[in-house]
Amino acid sequence: AASETLLEVNNIEVIYNHVILVLKGVSLTVRKGGITALLGGNGAGKTTTLKAISNLLHSERGEVTKGSILYKGERVQDLDPAALVKRGVIQVMEGRHCFEHLTVEENLLTGAYTRKDGKAAVMADLEMVYDYFPRLKERRRSQAGYTSGGEQQMVAIGRALMSRPETILLDEPSMGLAPQLVEQIFEIVKAVNEGEGVSFLLAEQNTNVALRYAHSGYILENGRVVMEGPAGELRENPDVKEFYLGMS
């Protein structure tokens, strides 16, 4: 049985600076409990799609000029990012963005700022995050700015988990990381997906890794979805092999 649809992006168009049309009608669906990959090369529109969903385009002079974005059937495109977090959707931005002068643990705790369920629940979730990221427990008193790129990516995901999200929008987790670390991060994403039931919409240029961990995927080219389907089918698709997996 197909699981519940959480996020539904219907034919959205995004324009920057009133003139630059970047998304030309993008539609996608994120189902509960799934890992959905949003794939495509540099500049295809992955980040723009995630920012459109979490309403982060305004500061970049971008706007959704057509289409709709629904979460559990309700229109969310006019909500501010904090209101969206309350509905259970949080974005982990590309480039990680830790608070460099705070410790790893303080960074994680900032992720719980919207919660009203008390300190004990927050501390229990901190332990939950440390269970998924043992490395962060070791580094918990280190200043985040002095941790490695991989550790900062872990902090960014861990901080998102501290808001107890239902869905995480994860932008380019592999960026700048060595292959072994990329694999480690995806293993943790998978563990969180299976262990906590968190759904992921994951933007990635690394098609190979993403399609091994995702359940389904969309490939964006030049602001349009050109292919979509179950991850296993995309992996076997000759065009995907030739243009994205480099093994035709």
Binding site for ligand ATP (CB under 6 A): 16-17, 20, 22, 40, 42-48, 60, 62, 172, 205
Shortest approach of ligand ATP to residue 173 CB, angstroms? 12
Shortest approach of ligand ATP to residue 224 CB, angstroms? 12
Shortest approach of ligand ATP to residue 171 CB, angstroms? 7
Shortest approach of ligand ATP to residue 126 CB, angstroms? 31
What are the angstrom distances between the C-alpha of 149 and each of 42, 95, 181, 215?
20, 9, 9, 26
Rounded Cα distance, 158 and 88, in Å: 15
**Beta carbon nearer to ligand ATP, 26 or 112:** 26
Rounded Cα distance, 77 and 75, in Å: 6
Q: Token match 């995702």: residue?
A: 214
**Beta carbon nearer to ligand ATP, 42 or 116:** 42
- Which has the closest alpha carbon to 219: 201, 233, 207, 209? 207
- Which has the closest alpha carbon to 200: 92, 75, 77? 92
**Beta carbon nearer to ligand ATP, 43 or 134:** 43
Shortest approach of ligand ATP to residue 228 CB, angstroms? 16
At residue 63's C-alpha, the angle toward residues 61 and 64, to 5°, is 165
**Beta carbon nearer to ligand ATP, 109 or 226:** 226
Token reading at 135: 């490395």
- Which has the closest alpha carbon to 90: 28, 136, 157? 157
**Beta carbon nearer to ligand ATP, 29 or 205:** 205
Q: Is 25 exposed, middle or buried (0-12, 13-18, 19+ CB in 10 A)?
A: middle
Shortest approach of ligand ATP to residue 189 CB, angstroms? 18
Shortest approach of ligand ATP to residue 62 CB, angstroms? 6
Backbone φ, ψ for residue 160 (5° rounding):
-60, -40
**Beta carbon nearer to ligand ATP, 16 or 243:** 16
**Element at 200 (helix H, strand E):** strand 199-204
**Beta carbon nearer to ligand ATP, 150 or 173:** 173
